[in-house]
Amino acid sequence: MSSRSVETPTHCPYCGLQCAMTLTRDDDAIAPAQTVQVGGRSFPTNQGGLCQKGWTSAELLRIPDRLLTPLVRVAGTLQPTDWETALDVVADGVRRARESGGADAVAVFGGGALTNEKAYTLGKFARVALGTANIDYNGRFCMSSAAAASIKSFGVDRGLPFPVSDLTTAHAILLFGANIAETMPPLVRHVAAAADRGGLIVVDPRRTPTAERALAGGGIHLQPSVGTDLPLALGMLRVALVEGYLDRAYIDTRTTGFDAARVAAGEWWPERTERVTGVPIDRIRRAVAIVADARQRDRGAYILSGRGAEQHATGTDTVSAIIALALALGLPGRERSGYGTITGQGNGQGGRELGQKADQLPGYRAIVDPAARRHVAAVWGVDPDLLPGPGKSAYELLDALGAADGPRVLLVHGSNLVVSAPRSQRIVDRLAALDLLVVSDFVLSETAAVADVVLPVLQWAEEDGTTTSLEGRVLRRRRAVAPPVGPRSDLEVLAALAIRLGQPANRFATEPRAVFDEIGRASAGGAADYSGIDYDRLDREQAVHWPCPDAGHPGTPRMFLDGFSTPDGRARFVGPRHRGAAETVDATFPLVATTGRIQAHYQSGSQTRRVDELRSSAGEMFVQVHPDTAQRAGLANGDLARVVGRRGVTVGVVRCDESMRPDTVFLPFHFPGAARANLVTSTALDPTSRMPEFKSCVVRLEAATTC
């Protein structure tokens, strides 16, 4: 009897673009992972294309070191055990910590790759079953500065308040700190027309593949020194002021606070901007002219920001300056123009809307808002006065682990902190100081390897769920294969723990559909309103943009066309001042290191490093520098180098690149052990977003003999 193929439409497990794909397996009764094939699927974001990571994503379903049974540390070694024993160990540890230190002695750390259902349930579990204020997630390290700035100016945070496909016909696109050719390759096709017209402008300290694409079409690469995106944006705003590019009618009718931005920009005359940023003023003028001309001729003009501009201790101010430039040119809230920020993680958007962030409740509600607390508490069936207040931000939470007045127990879902957190050796030490570290994962990540309890959970194609893409598009991920025997859903894990901690058996749903229906009720009336969306509608329509307040609402692909989400409906200018990086070079540390992604890997690499094709394509950890910089340190291409910073040392192979700035060192952050880039990164925090300064720290280069 011949088997038939079964196709499941779903979405990629990686970045925030959430490319559509089809998974095909051989049999609809049994679904061995070995038979799964990946195909592209027509969809507005990826138009049938996938990147190398997407094409190889089925390999994750058949990795040989998949976790299949719970592990508990006994006499220093992780030993297999059964689920009941493992969950009892966790619950007992939580109870002991709460008895001795109160509810906040237990903490939860989530992830931007969790489905909406998991992110929502994690926040509910922390605040209801644990009663702790101490919950945050790795999205704090990703989108927090852009979110804070967007809320200040627009009243709401949605990465792209317009569909990605709107970029396709644009004549001008200005990218601040976003290397989409490596991080989101299918997105490049949407900027191709602008690039071919000479209208793609890339701001990046490195000559990335995205910058190369701009230059190939006659566009511009603005190559500022690390950490000077803010003065560059203000310098561009001053050019717009002086050279007559302002959209005065737009400013007068749709914005407030322009004077503050005008004063801030006035400090950045051309010579000063060029001296501080290192970018020639003629290129700055040309870049502003290209964007302004496209807007004035209604040919499509967009400004986008990414992590390169945002992961600084001044990240919120930097994004505010970029938004001020966009507002001055009249871009946001137009049919053919706009501003947006590029969400990196797979569910970075949904992950920060649904309650796993320290200061938020579902629907993008503030946890300090009494009305928000009453609404969500009613959905959860609890007293609003019992909900905790805001907790510590991600790095501050991790830094407090094991301290006398800090959390004694940490539950981690969807994060690999040992590799991804700044000053990572400090975080390893704090994890070791805990009474109990519990990690839920489907592989033994570097963080799971140091845990006291490891709980094996399902992965992307083994269960149903939803994610929300970088453009606010709510999507269905579908179960395509049967999971192996042993792992459980995070929803089942959290429900089982909640019952052990005294919660009613029906308070925590374990079926994704039921959880999503609850999300609709909890988010109703909030900024990110999902209440008009359900699984049946997503199955019919493929996707719906939030806000969508009722079943008859079409969703909101383009926000702000009729007004911004502020009390008066006007966007707000902010006038930030340049403070500079937290660390400055000196004789001991004469170089500035910046971190980023490479095409073959994703985030901490715990998934992509297990895919042979991706691992071999990426190669080993490297240190990218200008040849003169290497020579001054006594190094040559291919040598092993130590990158020494004020907090630690990382090791990698020298890659000489003449396009690099001589004052800059680039470090990819996907590698483990002694090759962790985050051994040297700074823990200086943005005062508003609490974003660590990943993109700027001072270092020196030395020869090394071994990794």
Residues 668-679 have pLDDT tens digits of 999 999 999 999
pLDDT of residue 68: 97
Structure letter (DSSP) for residue 673: G
Average pLDDT of the residues in 134-142: 94
Termini Cα distance of the chain? 54
pLDDT of residue 28: 54
- How many whole angstroms separate alpha carbon 208 and alpha carbon 346? 22
Selection from 349, 358, 689 nearest residue 530 by Cα: 349
Selection from 325, 283, 278, 286 nearest residue 304 by Cα: 325
Selection from 525, 581, 231 nearest residue 363 by Cα: 525
pLDDT of residue 26: 81
Q: Which tokens go with 634?
A: 């006594």
Minimum mean pLDDT range among 346-350, 613-617, 635-639: 346-350
pLDDT of residue 1: 37
- Counting every residue written for the chain, the total comes to 707
Q: Indicate the pTM of the whole model.
A: 0.96
pLDDT exceeds 70 at position 387: yes
Within the chain, all domains assigned CATH 3.40.228.10 are found at 144-342
pLDDT of residue 707: 47
pLDDT exceeds 70 at position 29: no
- How many whole angstroms separate alpha carbon 192 and alpha carbon 165? 12
Average pLDDT of the residues in 113-139: 97
pLDDT exceeds 50 at position 135: yes
pLDDT exceeds 70 at position 3: no
Question: What is the topology classification, in CATH, of domain 591-703?
Answer: Barwin-like endoglucanases (2.40.40)
Q: Are 387 and 360 in contact (CB under 8 A)?
A: no
Q: Which tokens go with 7?
A: 């196709």
Residues 155-172 have pLDDT tens digits of 999 999 999 999 999 999
pLDDT exceeds 60 at position 662: yes
CATH 3.30.70.260 for domain 71-141+347-545: no
Binned at pLDDT 50, 70 and 90, residue 706 comes out as: low
Within the chain, all domains assigned CATH 2.20.25.90 are found at 6-62
- How many whole angstroms separate alpha carbon 94 and alpha carbon 134? 13
Q: Are 692 and 685 in contact (CB under 8 A)?
A: yes
DSSP 317-349: HHHHHHHHHHHHTT-TT-SSEEEEE---STTHH
- How many whole angstroms separate alpha carbon 232 and alpha carbon 318? 9
Residues 86-104 have pLDDT tens digits of 999 999 999 999 999 999 9
Higher pLDDT, 344 or 701: 701
Selection from 392, 360, 352, 317 nearest residue 144 by Cα: 352
Q: What Cα–Cα distance (Å) separates residue 660 from each residue in 90, 418, 625?
A: 49, 29, 6
Residues 248-258 have pLDDT tens digits of 999 999 999 99
Average pLDDT of the residues in 567-572: 98
User: How many Cα atoms occupy the beta-carbon half-sphere of 222 within 13 Å?
Assistant: 31
3-state helix, strand, coil in the chain (%, to 5): 35, 20, 45
Residues 433-442 have pLDDT tens digits of 999 999 999 9
Binned at pLDDT 50, 70 and 90, residue 44 comes out as: very high
pLDDT of residue 35: 83
Structure letter (DSSP) for residue 576: -
Phi, psi angle pair for 573, to nearest 5°: -75, 145
Q: Are 126 and 498 in contact (CB under 8 A)?
A: no
DSSP 58-113: GGGGG-TT---S-EEEETTEEEE--HHHHHHHHHHHHHHHHHHH-GGGEEEEE-TT
User: To which CATH superfamily is domain 144-342 assigned?
Assistant: Dimethylsulfoxide Reductase, domain 2 (3.40.228.10)
Q: If you average pLDDT over every residue of the chain, what do you get?
A: 96
Residue 536: which H helix or E strand, with range?
helix 535-541
CATH 2.20.25.90 for domain 6-62: yes
Residues 466-493 have pLDDT tens digits of 999 999 999 999 999 999 999 999 999 9
Within the chain, all domains assigned CATH 3.40.50.740 are found at 71-141+347-545
pLDDT exceeds 60 at position 13: yes
pLDDT of residue 343: 84
